[in-house]
């Protein structure tokens, strides 16, 4: 799915993001508000992974939803 579509419908996709990355809090998801860079940073922070790995996970997730 196109990231602009995800951003525009973030309220609908928050639950799917929470399923994928359960360590993200509701507050994290509210602050991300559909911003891909914010999601990237929060995933890196919560899971202690490299930027490239977080980007891979986001890309894979966005094609599945």
The string of pLDDT tens digits covering residues 1-39 is 899 999 999 999 999 999 999 999 999 999 999 999 999
Provide the residue ranges of all domains of the chain, joining segments of one domain with +.
3-64
pLDDT value at residue 1: 87
CB 3 within 8 A of CB 36: yes
Q: Determine the average pLDDT of the residues in 39-58.
A: 98
| Other beta carbons within 10 Å of 33 | 12
3-64 classified as CATH 1.10.1470.10: yes
């Amino acid at each position: 799915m196109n990231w602009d579509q995800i951003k525009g419908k973030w309220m609908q996709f928050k639950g799917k993001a929470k399923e994928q990355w359960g360590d993200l809090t509701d507050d994290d998801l509210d602050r991300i508000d559909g911003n891909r860079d914010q999601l990237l940073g929060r995933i890196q922070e919560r899971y202690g992974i490299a930027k490239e790995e977080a980007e891979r996970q986001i890309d894979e997730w966005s094609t599945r939803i």
